[in-house]
Structure 1
Amino acid sequence: MSATSINIQFTLNGERVSADVEPHHTILDVLRQQFALYGARESCGQGLCGCCTVIVNGESVSG
């Protein structure tokens, strides 16, 4: 954990987890790099195509 990162805790696929997150990390960075979840990915870079869509609190959001 670097001086600028923060530790967040959340429920991921029904399991309580934590992650050290840098200010520039996206939700996709965290899911892919720290939890090896590769289903959502960046494609268009604008959230228009749907590749980066994840469910947060029951709502679809662009990652």
Structure 2
Amino acid sequence: MNVVDNSTKASTAFGTLITIFANISHNDLLKTMILAAVGGASSFLATLVVKFLICKLKNIRSKQKLW
């Protein structure tokens, strides 16, 4: 039976993270942060546009039903 305690799991995870951070350059980190911000902002704006269009379509349909 293979038993691995929590300290071994934590040490392995922490060592992996340290290795990843040691190999990432500052330029890559900055580029990733900028791309994440642009992606988040564009996703937010697309959501607002879709919500606006849905509200407009609902208003047009409700006005047509009144006639």
TM-score (norm 2): 0.18
In terms of fraction of residues, the more strand-rich structure is: 1
In terms of fraction of residues, the more helix-rich structure is: 2
